[in-house]
Amino acid sequence: MSPAPLVSFLALIAALLISPLARAEEVKPGAQIEEGFTSLFDGKTLDGWTPQDPALNGFKVEDGSILCHGPFTHLFYSGKVNDA
């Protein structure tokens, strides 16, 4: 048996273990924002966002992130930017 399948499998496992560590740089409150960039999320509330099914209560804001929990659903931007 060739060692190639084992090497491929180990490479996949390594990639899956390392990928959570390669997070995008976090934007700090008050940080300089790229010119022309408009944030759609204030990091505190879901103002300007509409859930597909509000009765599911499937979204919340925690530590500056939008978290999804519960049944499968969508969150749509419905705020003022570009008359969404």
Mean pLDDT over all residues of the chain?
Answer: 77
Which CA distances in Å does 41 have to 2, 6, 9, 31, 32?
51, 44, 39, 15, 16
Average pLDDT score over residue span 40-52: 91
Q: Domain residues for 77?
A: 4-83
Which of 57, 26, 55 lies closest to 43 in space, CA to CA? Answer: 26
Phi, psi of 65 (to 5 degrees): -125, 150
| pLDDT digits 0-9 by tens, 56-68 | 888 999 998 999 8
pLDDT, one tens digit per residue, over 18-34 is: 655 444 445 555 566 78
Q: Residue 15: is its pLDDT beyond 90?
A: no
User: How many distinct structural domains can be found in the chain?
Assistant: 1
Sign of CA dihedral 11, 12, 13, 18: positive
